[in-house]
Structure 1
């Protein structure tokens, strides 16, 4: 049977289905049942399949270790030089591979990337495995507070150099590097999830982008202005569209550039790799700067605020706020004001217990394992 990641119960023993997130009463009986496995065949590690038989009959210590997990995505360390990413082919692949391969194929660039990525799966496979060389170093956010001003300035100059280089690549419309539509990590990024697949996509043009989110904006405007008059709502929607900053030129944008995605050699104050390009693509010229502000924190602000004087000397912070932030924020507020429905208690499968103190050992959540988010606009009386 091919692996169906949306139905874990077909592949994992002992799961208990919890419709609408309600834990069934039989979980206690299920737990007792699970505790009576044959001890010579009992699974000790569901993440790797290691059993008591392997434990008792071999001298093997795995060199493959789980490195990180998020939703239904796992990152495994293979020794100290390689990582393998295991994820479903459900849109959560994002744009990481395609963008890094694009940049590696461009001559004359000085952008720190991981050295190699290899896809081990076919495009149509249900599960995608990607082998990646591992950037040697530490995340910049883990050392930022220990750095001197000159050291921070050196890193700032390197990040500015990366942004300048990628911004030289442009496209006639908003799109991924393969020409397909971008996930909306900006306006509709304030939804159930910000990582792909998101609730909405960005249209190729600003007009298409607004069309994609128009129903939600109407709902939000109705709430903000306390009216159900369609004429008033349409007028307010048109004001948002007319006031929105133009997208051209559409420039290559990382989309999630923060200190945690910058791997550095702390001894040499050198960036070794910019990672996690899954949200990248050709965004409006203002997107990278806007994202660094909206999704930023104290650490990233210290890095990025002075940086933009170098990258975009023609537009100071005040002008950017007037021409971009103050025009985009009303659209975000309208999106947020719309009451949207996502499953409050999505269904899940309860994993078998791993100790007496737990009635169940974690869950497979409906949305996290690749099923639809059921994004709906709430009905307003």
Structure 2
């Protein structure tokens, strides 16, 4: 395949035959589009998110068996943006599995178009993976400090919904009571093997770090995931649990 690039409000992505690169967007890139300055101001920790994900990939590769992209390199560009280069993982995210019949086992469920049966199979496999592999592996990683390596970025349902403070202090404890969390686990974070509909890789670790166990929230349904943003009472209680 040819190298191609695309972007969203958060980052710019470049896919090559063997690598996948994510980098933070610069102010100039934001200013080139409508409401660019507003979008730029509304997205905190642009470079820190990239660094946090790189450090998470290093930690997970060293201390877990969780399938993740291989970290190749990360650093800062001359324009101030931060980049993260990883190995490319072929597959389809769980959010897109139902776009066509994937023929698991060579058996086609329909004659074309969306396939809810494939989605059901993939969701069941993903649920099994999360409960038997991902969560047990993350539960082994514990710390007496919140965040990761001195940087704290709570999940999106905290920082994009209730509390927009520009900085979060590290909370310390006498015990290793904080567990490593993905922070943004949803169908888009799971790359599935299109032939077997099993989990091939877990991606998007920008919001990961050590937090109280109650922060280990996730969903395989996007409506349920977005509902996490609306439960403000629960979010406020969790925020109090990480304040020094």
- Which category describes the TM-score, using the shorter chain as reference length? 0.5 to 0.7
Q: Give yes or no for the alignment of 1:297 onto 2:203.
A: no
SS of 1:99's equivalent in the other structure is helix
Cα distance in 1, alignment partners of residues 186 and 168 from structure 2? 22
Q: How many residues align?
A: 196
Tell me the TM-score normalized by structure 1: 0.44
Task: Show the counterpart of 1:147.
Answer: 118
Do residues 115 (structure 1) and 82 (structure 2) align? no
Residue 14 of structure 2 is matched in structure 1 by 76
8 Å contact kept, 1:184–1:199? no
User: What CA distance in whole angstroms lies between the structure 1 residues aligned with 2:50 and 2:162?
Assistant: 19
Query: Distance in 1 between the 2:194 and 2:136 partners?
Result: 23
Query: Could you tell me which of 157, 166, 172 is aligned with 2:128?
Result: 157
Matched, 1:328 2:237: no
CA, structure 1 residues 165+77, in 2 after alignment: closer, same or farther (shift >3 Å)? same
TM-score (norm 2): 0.65
- Describe how 1:173-322 pairs up with structure 2 within 5 A: 173-176=145-148, 178=149, 180-185=150-155, 187-190=158-161, 199-205=166-172, 249-289=177-217, 292=218, 297-298=222-223
Q: Deviations over 1:121-143 (max 9, x none)?
A: 48x98233322211100010112
Alpha-carbon separation, structure 1, partners of 2:232 and 2:76: 44
- The 2-side partners of 1:273 and 1:113 are apart by 5
1:205 shift after superposition: 4.8
CA deviations 1:66-118 (Å, max 9, x no partner) are 133334x311122x321222326743425110001111122xx3211013431
Runs of 4+ in 1 over 6 A off after TM superposition: none
Map 1:32-111 onto structure 2 (within 5 A). Answer: 63-71=2-10, 73-78=11-16, 80-87=17-24, 90-106=47-63, 109-111=64-66
- Matching residue of 2:36: none
Name 2:144's counterpart in structure 1. 172
Distance 1:332 1:286 in 2: 7
Deviations for 1:295-336, whole angstroms, at most 9, x for unmatched residues?
9634769xxxxxxxxxxxxxxxxxxxxxxx8963565899xx
Larger Rg: 1
CA–CA distance in 2 between the matches of 1:266 and 1:333? 38
Query: Which sections of structure 1, spanning at least 5 residues, go unmatched?
Result: 1-61, 207-246, 302-324, 335-381
> Is residue 85 of structure 2 the alignment partner of residue 131 of structure 1?
yes
Aligned equivalents of 2:205, 2:118: Cα separation in 1: 26
Q: 3-state DSSP class of the match of 2:134?
A: helix
How far 1:271 sits from its partner (Å)? 1.1
- Secondary structure in structure 2 of the residue aligned to 1:100: helix
Aligned-partner Cα distance in 2 for 1:146–1:115: 31
The higher-RCO structure (CA 8 Å, 6+ apart) is 1
Counterparts of 1:171 and 1:86, CA distance in 2? 28
CA apart distance, 1:166 = 1.1
Q: In 2, distance between residues paired with 1:146 and 1:332? A: 37
Q: How many angstroms does 1:149 deviate by?
A: 4.6
**Mapped partners of 1:192, 1:168: distance in 2:** 29
